[in-house]
Every structure is written in structure tokens, then in C-alpha cells.
């Protein structure tokens, strides 16, 4: 049996904060098991939230400087986490924060310089998990499905409701995964206009009415007709979703309600291709009672919402797992998911 004590760090598109998870992985009898031992979310300061939000507007040297500064921030917070909890990980795996994701143009950039994390902690650091896949012709996303395949095989579907809803499942002995639709990246932006961080329990959306014209426009967006592999980024939301919401001459509550209906219908359209399946939901959106109520009302599948720890830290845990697989030089990126020319072991590992 081989055991790995690893830290995973994740920053999502919704800018909620930095997720840090200290996990143990064991490989025994050709099977993996895991435990999330300690985890916390560090909310971004207003300054960091603004810097990350505005990162796509930066050029050349400014973006390089931010990459280094954010790497220092990640390393500082990781070192604090390690010291506070008196733990001794052998590896740190960091997703970084996505600035650009336009794989069709061969572009995907996650900032957070791994050298800075290594310097701050002195611990082997794995990072930059997407670049290699894009260079191999893939989408560079999603990356979590290898974890779904090896750690959550008892579920028919695994769905994460974060900035985007993404799904992972087995079909014809292959792992298939893709982004279904945007979720919190849009909802939180609408909330910001009202002075809120997020729509707690979906209470704003619940007071609105569905606008059938807007719903029809959202559902007819070309992305939903494409076959996987496919993935979404902030740029797609800016160019496709935002104009429809901005031009709709309806109340803000009706925009919320219509967008929630769009999300739930797109998700259920995918999982209802087969009946009575076990579907695991994680990510911050799993706490949104109204959104989950809509999903449950539109599907025959068995919806499973796990412990809060798993809801919040599954992605950070799986990035820790990606780092372990990279350390072992084993496949952590699946061509059937991303569309790359072959399966591969992605990411960079730095050691002192």
C-alpha cells in the first residue's frame, strides 16, 4: 500500500475564495481511496477579488507580475494552513486561477506561479494542469473526470455546480465529460448588481417569473447543440449570455427566475437520457435550495447531495489527486473528455 498526504488548492470562476484541502490518498489492491482530512475556504479580500476579476484586461508584463504575485499569495496561504494545522504534506497541487480559457484558439491561462508556492513552502509543487492538454489539441477541461472515474465510480453521473455546471459519466467504456451551462458565474454577477454576493437559497429567483422569450433565446444558443468534448469560459458568457440578459426588458427577479429555469432544464436534458440513475451533485450550487428543487422536479434520477465537506472541497481534493497521479507519472487527463490526441500525464512538478 502507498499513501500520499497532499494539499489541493482551487480557485473557481465565481471568485468565492481559495479552497485548500489536505487529503490522504491510498492505493491498495489496484484501487484508490481518499479522505479529506482538513479543509477551509479563504475568502478573497476586495483587492484580490478586483485584481483577479480584471486580470483579462492586463497586458504582457502586468500579467506576468500578477502571475508571480498570486503565486506568492497561494504559497503564503498554503504555508499558513500547514503551520496552523501542523501537517506535513509531501506534495502541493494547485489549479491556479483561470484568466483566459479559449481552447479553440489554443489559449488557456491559469495564473499562480508554482515557483512562488515552492519557495514559500519548500514542498514539491504541481501546477499548470491545462496547458499541455491544449497543446495536444484538447480543451484543457474538464480535468476532474479522472477523479470521478477512479474515486466516485459508484455514481452514474457526477455534476459540479460552480461557476459552470459540468458533468462526468461513463459511456461505452469511456469517460465522457463537459461543461453543461454557466451557473454561478452568471447568478453571482446578477447578485452583484443588487449588492449581494450570491442568491442565498435561490430566494431572489423564487420571487420571479419565467420569461418564455428570454428562456427560448438562452436555450437556443449554439453551444448546446455541440457534441462533447466541449467547455465553457468567462469569454463565452460575456459574448453570449450577458447580452441576452442585459437587453431583456424585464425585472431583475424575472431574469433570475428565467436563468434558473435555463440551468435546470439544460442539466436535466443531459441526465434524463437514462432513467433512475445515481447523480452526485457537489459545488456551491448544491446549497442553492431553489435550484436543486427545480432540478429534482424535472428529473427521474436519484439526486444525491453528499456531506458539506465533499460539496465544498471535491474539486480541490481532485486537484490534489491530479498532482499525485502526475507524481506517479500516470494518466491524469483523458482524451475522451478533452479531445486531445491521446491520454496523458499533465502538469508541472517542481522540487527543491
Looking at the structure, tell me whether residues 46 and 151 fall in a common domain. Answer: no
N-term to C-term CA, the chain: 26
Residue at 186 is within a domain: yes
Per-residue pLDDT for 197 more than 90? no
Same domain, 302 and 329: no
Say if residue 123 is in the same domain as residue 218.
Answer: no
Do 81 and 218 sit in the same domain of this protein?
Answer: no
Based on the fold, state whether residues 185 and 294 are members of the same structural domain. yes
Average pLDDT of the chain to the nearest whole number: 95
Confidence tier at 250 by pLDDT (50, 70, 90) = very high
Give the mean pLDDT of 21-44: 96
Same domain, 149 and 106: no
Do 64 and 164 lie in a common domain? no
Tell whether 220 is covered by a domain.
yes
Residues 174 and 55 placed together within one structural domain of the fold: no
- What does the pLDDT read at residue 328? 97
Say how far apart CA 334 and CA 340 lie, in whole Å: 8
Distances (CA, A) of 131 to 127, 134, 250, 310: 10, 5, 41, 27
Residue 40 reports pLDDT greater than 80: yes
Query: Does residue 306 contact residue 287 with C-beta atoms inside 8 Å?
Result: no
Q: Domain containing 182 — which CATH number? A: 3.30.420.40
In a domain, 314, yes or no: no
Looking at the fold, whether 165 and 199 belong to one and the same domain comes out as yes
The Cα–Cα gap between 119 and 100 comes to 26
- How many domains does one find in the chain? 2
**pLDDT digit string, tens, across residues 57-85:** 999 999 999 999 999 999 999 999 999 99
* Mean pLDDT of the 34-57 span: 95
Domain range for residue 103? Answer: 2-139+319-350
What is the structure's pLDDT at 104?
86
Q: Are residues 67 and 159 in the same domain?
A: no
Confidence band for 102, pLDDT divided at 50, 70 and 90: confident
Query: Pairing state of beta strands 125-127 and 91-94?
Result: parallel
- Read off the pTM: 0.91
CA dihedral over 67, 134, 23, 162, signed as positive or negative? positive
Report, as an integer, the average pLDDT of 249-261. Answer: 97
Per-residue pLDDT, 276 = 75
Q: What is the pLDDT of residue 334?
A: 96
Does 13 reside within a domain? yes
Residue 205: what pLDDT? Answer: 97
Predicted pLDDT of residue 75: 98
Whether 187 has a pLDDT exceeding 90, the answer reads yes
**Same domain as 290, residue 153:** yes
Q: With respect to residue 228, please indicate whether it lies within any of the assigned structural domains.
A: yes
Amino acid at each position: 500500500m502507498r499513501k500520499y498526504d497532499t494539499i489541493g488548492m482551487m480557485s473557481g470562476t465565481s471568485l468565492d475564495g481559495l479552497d485548500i484541502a489536505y487529503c490522504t490518498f491510498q492505493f491498495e489492491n489496484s484501487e484508490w481511496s481518499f479522505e479529506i482530512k482538513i479543509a477551509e475556504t479563504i475568502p478573497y479580500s476586495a483587492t484580490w477579488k478586483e485584481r483577479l476579476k480584471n486580470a483579462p484586461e492586463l497586458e504582457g508584463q502586468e500579467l506576468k507580475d500578477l502571475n508571480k504575485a498570486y503565486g506568492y499569495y497561494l504559497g503564503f496561504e498554503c504555508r499558513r494552513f500547514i503551520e496552523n494545522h501542523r501537517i506535513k504534506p509531501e506534495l502541493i497541487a494547485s489549479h491556479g486561477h483561470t484568466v483566459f480559457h479559449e481552447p479553440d484558439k489554443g489559449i488557456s491561462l491559469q495564473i499562480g506561479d508554482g515557483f512562488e508556492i515552492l519557495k514559500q513552502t519548500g514542498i514539491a509543487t504541481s501546477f499548470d494542469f491545462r496547458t499541455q492538454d491544449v497543446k495536444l489539441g484538447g480543451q484543457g477541461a474538464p480535468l476532474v473526470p479522472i477523479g470521478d472515474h477512479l474515486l466516485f465510480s459508484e455514481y452514474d453521473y457526477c455534476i459540479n455546480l460552480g461557476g459552470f455546471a459540468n458533468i462526468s459519466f461513463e459511456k461505452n467504456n469511456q469517460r465522457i465529460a463537459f461543461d453543461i451551462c454557466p451557473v454561478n458565474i452568471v447568478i453571482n454577477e446578477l447578485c452583484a448588481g443588487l449588492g449581494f454576493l450570491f442568491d442565498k437559497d435561490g430566494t431572489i429567483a423564487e420571487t420571479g417569473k419565467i420569461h418564455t422569450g428570454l428562456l427560448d433565446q438562452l436555450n437556443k444558443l449554439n453551444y448546446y447543440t455541440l457534441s462533447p468534448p466541449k467547455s465553457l469560459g468567462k469569454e463565452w458568457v460575456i459574448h453570449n449570455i450577458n447580452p441576452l440578459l442585459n437587453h431583456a426588458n424585464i425585472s431583475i427577479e424575472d431574469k433570475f427566475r428565467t436563468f434558473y429555469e435555463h440551468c435546470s432544464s439544460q442539466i436535466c436534458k443531459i441526465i434524463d437520457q437514462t432513467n433512475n440513475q445515481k447523480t452526485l451533485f457537489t459545488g456551491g450550487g448544491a446549497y442553492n435550495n431553489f435550484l436543486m428543487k427545480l432540478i429534482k422536479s424535472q428529473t427521474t434520477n436519484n439526486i444525491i447531495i453528499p456531506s458539506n465537506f465533499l460539496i465544498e472541497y471535491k474539486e480541490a481534493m481532485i486537484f490534489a489527486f491530479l498532482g499525485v497521479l502526475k507524481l506517479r507519472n500516470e494518466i491524469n487527463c483523458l482524451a475522451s473528455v478533452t479531445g486531445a490526441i491521446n491520454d496523458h500525464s499533465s502538469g508541472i512538478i517542481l522540487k527543491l
